[in-house]
Amino acid sequence: MDIARMIDHTCLKAEAHRTEIRTLVDEAMIHGFASVCVNGSYVKSVSKTLRARSSSVKTCSVVGFPLGAMSENVKKIEATVAAKDGADEIDFVGNLPALVEGDVEVLREQFTTIVKEARAVNPDLVVKVIIESAYLMKDVDGVEAERRIAAACQAAIEGGVDFVKTSTGFHGAGGASVEAVQLMKKHAGPIKVKASGGIRTYDDAMRMIDAGANRLGCSAGVSIVQGLASESGGSGY
pTM: 0.95
CATH number for the domain formed by residue range(s) 3-232: 3.20.20.70
Whole-number pLDDT of residue 1 = 84
Whole-number pLDDT of residue 229 = 58
Neighbours of 35 (CB within 10 A): 26
List, by residue number, the catalytic residues: 91, 165, 194
* Domain boundaries, given as residue ranges, for the chain: 3-232
CA distances from 42 to 16, 75, 89, 116 (A): 10, 17, 14, 23
Give the chain's residues under pLDDT 50: 232-237
Distance CA 102, CA 136 (A): 9
CA angle 16, 213, 215 (to 5 degrees): 40
On the CB side of 61, CA atoms within 13 Å amount to: 24
3-state secondary structure of 108: helix
How many whole angstroms from its chain centre is CA 90? 8
